[in-house]
Structure 1
Amino acid sequence: MEIKIGKTDGKLDPELFNSVAHQAARRIAGDDLRKNDNKPTQLRKFYDEIVLWDSKVSLHPEKFDEYLPFIRMLNAKAAYAKGRKLVDDNFVNLMHSGLAQVVCPETLHTFKLFMEAFMGFYKQERPN
């Protein structure tokens, strides 16, 4: 699933945290109906780690370049979770798409906000 977290003409897509996040949550929760992937606790762990990195970067923005390899390592963690059947390809692709666009503290924060919205909609789409 491809998302665009960067700005166009200096503005965020007004639907990024609304319909885009909802569509992503619906797609990933919908996959769950066919398989037993995308464990909510697993998705929450990824969100929590993104929040952790966003907090670290907001405290020390000058260290962003030092932190970026560890932030991008979330792709490897998502691949590992997929190998353990805790998440599916769509979630791995969502993480990859978002993390590829994290190039500065601002884009990391935007990705964190997107994942926050995604998690809220995911809970609605898959309440249990």
Structure 2
Amino acid sequence: MNNIRNNRSDYQKNSLPELDTSRIQFKNKTADLFDAVANKTAKTIANTHSRDVNKSTQLRKYYDEIIMWEQKIRQNPDNYSEYLPFIKMLNAKVAYANGRNLVDTNFVDLMRHCTGQIQEDDINSFYTFKLFFEAFMGFYKMHKPKQT
């Protein structure tokens, strides 16, 4: 069974368009981060060969969690550093979903890249992450509309 899953992961990695995260920079935001960069990222993530992977409802769960953390941070900004380990736990949740073939490795890489830029001493890095993910989700819905 593990060989089948590993073979699927190898196939998935080899057949996916390459995700370029180099322009997703939260510290030195460019004017097109929430526009062209988010759009290109969404298009790459949407371009999967399986209709059962990266469903918008699955990705929306992660966005909803990001929104939940934003609300907690806005209510208690002094607790930001306490929340941060739980925010970064999104990586584990996405990895689990990848193991169940609900998201692909491009989405795993995107989440890891984005959460890796959230800094403990810079609350604005989290807000930039949230805004980028919001823009990404908007474009994602355009590139991968609901399938019936």
Q: TM-score, normalised by structure 1?
A: 0.91
Which residue of structure 2 aligns with residue 14 of structure 1?
31
Of 68, 91, 115, 1:75 maps to: 91
> Which 4+ stretches in 1 moved above 2 angstroms?
none
Structure with greater contact order relative to length (CA < 8 Å, sep ≥ 6): 1
Q: Supply the AA of the counterpart residue of 2:65.
A: E
Q: Supply the AA of the counterpart residue of 1:126.
A: K
Deviation at 1:118, TM superposition (A): 0.4
Deviation at 1:87, TM superposition (A): 0.4
Q: Take 2:69 and 2:58, find their aligned partners in 1: how far apart are those partners?
A: 17
Of 91, 114, 118, 1:98 maps to: 114
Q: Supply the AA of the counterpart residue of 2:46.
A: A
Of 116, 122, 128, 2:140 maps to: 122
Q: Does 1:89 align with 2:105?
A: yes
Q: Take 2:127 and 2:75, find their aligned partners in 1: how far apart are those partners?
A: 12
Aligned length in residues: 122
Of 20, 29, 46, 1:29 maps to: 46
Which residue of structure 1 aligns with residue 4 of structure 2?
none
Deviation at 1:40, TM superposition (A): 1.1
Listed as ranges, the gaps of 5+ residues in structure 1 are none
- 2:47 match: secondary structure: helix
For the 8 Å contact 1:29–1:122, the answer to whether it is kept is yes
Of 101, 107, 120, 2:125 maps to: 107
Which residue of structure 1 aligns with residue 62 of structure 2?
46
CA distances 1:23-82 after superposition (whole Å, capped 9, x unpaired): 010000012xx1231011110000010111111111111111101100000000000010
Q: Take 1:84 and 1:53, find their aligned partners in 2: how far apart are those partners?
A: 25
Which residue of structure 2 aligns with residue 64 of structure 1?
80
Q: Rg: which structure is higher? A: 2
Of 25, 35, 40, 1:4 maps to: 25
Q: Take 1:53 and 1:122, find their aligned partners in 2: how far apart are those partners?
A: 21
- 1:14 match: secondary structure: coil
Listed as ranges, the gaps of 5+ residues in structure 2 are 1-18
Q: Supply the AA of the counterpart residue of 2:137.
A: M
Q: TM-score, normalised by structure 2?
A: 0.79
Q: Supply the AA of the counterpart residue of 1:29.
A: A
